[in-house]
Amino acid sequence: MNSKVEKALNAQIEKEAFASQFYLAMASWAENTGLNGTAQFMYAHSDEERFHMLKLVKFVNERGGKAAIPSIAKPPMDFKNLEDIFTRLLEHEISVTASINDLVGLCLDEKDYTTHNFIQWYVSEQLEEEALARSILDKIKLIGNDKGGMYQFDKDLENSAIQSNSAARNTASK
C-alpha cells in the first residue's frame, strides 16, 4: 500500500473513531435529559460511525498496510440543547466530508485507483450525513421553544431510529 495513502487512511480511522465517541457522548446527554428518541438516534449513529472505522481498518489491512488503532480525544460531554447538539454534529460532519475529499485528492495524486474506488462509498455516505444533519437542524429551528413540538420531534427521532435498527438487522440477516 502507498505509504502516503496509508497514513491518510489511518488519520481517517481516528476521525471515524472520534465521531463514534462524539455521537455516544451526545446520546448519553440526550438520555440524561429525557430525550430518549434523540438518544436512540445518537446511539445508532455512534454504531454507524464505528462501522465506518472498521471498514477502513479492514481495507487498510487487506491491502497490505497496517491499520493503526488510535487513542482518541475525549468528546464534549455537555450541551446546551438540541440545537447545540445538531449544530455541532453538522459542523463535525462537514469536517469529515473535507477529510474524505482530501483523501480522494490524495488517491488521485498518487494514482491509487483502488483506494479511490473504495473511498467513493464514503463520499456518498457523507452527502447523506450532511443532508440528514441539516434537515434535523432545520426542524429544530422551526420548532423553536415549543415544548409540544420538541416532544413530537423526539418521538419522531425515536421511531426513525427503531425503523433504521430494524432495517439494519434485516439486511444483516440476509
Q: What is the 3-state secondary structure (H, E, C) of 85-120?
A: HHHHHHHHHHHHHHHHHHHHHHHHHCCCHHHHHHHH
Q: Is 126 annotated as a binding residue?
A: yes
Residue-level pLDDT at 158: 85
Q: What is the pTM of this model?
A: 0.88
Flag whether pLDDT at 173 surpasses 80.
no
- Are 89 and 157 in contact by the 8 Å Cβ rule? The answer is no
User: 170 versus 143: which is more confidently predicted?
Assistant: 143
Residue-level pLDDT at 33: 94
Helix (H) or strand (E) holding 39: helix 36-62
Residue 86 sits in a domain of what CATH number? 1.20.1260.10
Residue-level pLDDT at 165: 55
Flag whether pLDDT at 169 surpasses 60.
no
pLDDT tens for residues 96-134?
999 999 999 999 999 999 999 999 999 999 999 999 999
Residue-level pLDDT at 170: 54
- Tell me the average pLDDT of the chain: 92
pLDDT band at 145 (very low <50, low <70, confident <90, very high): confident
Q: Is 93 annotated as a binding residue?
A: yes
Q: What is the DSSP letter of 152?
A: H
Report the pLDDT averaged over residues 5-32: 97
pLDDT tens for residues 1-17?
999 999 999 999 999 99
Residue-level pLDDT at 162: 60
What residues make up the domain containing 8?
3-172
What span, in angstroms and rounded, lies between the C-alpha atoms of 44 and 36? 12
pLDDT band at 55 (very low <50, low <70, confident <90, very high): very high
Flag whether pLDDT at 93 surpasses 70.
yes
Instruction: Count how many domains the chain has.
Output: 1
Residues 6+ apart with CB under 8 A from 79: 26, 29, 85, 88
Residue-level pLDDT at 159: 81
